[in-house]
């Protein structure tokens, strides 16, 4: 899995004009850091730390994975950064329960440069002490392509234009290669 992920992502970054090539070295370091987690007993548990180690200095101070615990609740499985919301409840349709639920309901990655303006924005900044400026949320899909979890970033600095598409590709590739189930992400 490690080699497959690394090779696929390196080819993607090299060929896709959407990725800012000024950040190529940084993205290659992130690819290597995440690929190294794939040989761990619980790779999904290691991914947020790997992301923080490479991108924490850019204001990526909190990132984590919420799993779909029930049809109406996401539960924090693993994170790197200060404590945040442990659960996120579904209140209604898209636009009512924040970015994490919107990414699940729409089964697509979402990016905002102003998290506070997101419809139905759910803030845990008072719990974490962060001042979230921007956010990325990427679905983590099982073997059938259904979102079973989301990776969530709370950034305290602005994002680069290629960050959202790149992280979407990272989690789409991880999902395709690892074919996770909720238990894989929750295992410690």
Number of domains in the chain: 1
pLDDT in tens, 94-147: 988 999 999 999 999 999 999 888 888 887 767 777 888 899 999 999 999 999
Separation CA 46–CA 110 (nearest Å): 22
Separation CA 30–CA 52 (nearest Å): 9
Q: Which backbone phi and psi does 127 adopt, to 5 degrees? A: -80, -35
Q: 7 is in which domain, residue-wise?
A: 2-186
What's the CATH number where 72 sits? 3.30.450.40
pLDDT in tens, 72-93: 999 999 999 987 888 999 998 9
Separation CA 78–CA 188 (nearest Å): 9
Q: Tokens 């690892």, residue?
A: 178
Q: Residue 137: beta bridge partners?
A: 110, 152
At 63 the three-state DSSP class reads strand
pTM of the model: 0.92
């Amino acid at each position: 899995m490690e080699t497959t992920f690394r090779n696929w992502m390196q080819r993607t970054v090299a060929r896709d004009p959407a990725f800012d090539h000024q950040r190529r070295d940084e993205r290659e370091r992130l690819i290597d850091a995440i690929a190294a987690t794939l040989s761990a007993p619980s790779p999904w548990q290691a991914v947020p730390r790997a992301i923080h180690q490479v991108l924490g200095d850019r204001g990526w101070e909190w990132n984590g994975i919420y799993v779909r615990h029930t049809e109406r609740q996401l539960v924090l499985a693993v994170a790197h950064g200060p404590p945040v919301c442990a659960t996120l409840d579904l209140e209604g349709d898209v636009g009512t329960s924040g970015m994490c639920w919107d990414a699940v309901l729409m089964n697509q990655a979402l990016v905002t440069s102003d998290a506070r303006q997101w419809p139905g924005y759910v803030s845990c900044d008072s719990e974490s002490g962060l001042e979230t400026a921007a956010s990325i949320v990427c679905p983590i899909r099982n073997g059938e392509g259904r979102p079973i979890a989301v990776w969530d970033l709370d950034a305290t600095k602005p994002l680069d234009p290629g960050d959202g598409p790149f992280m979407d590709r990272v989690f789409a590739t991880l999902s395709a290669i690892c074919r996770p189930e909720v238990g894989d992400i929750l295992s410690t």
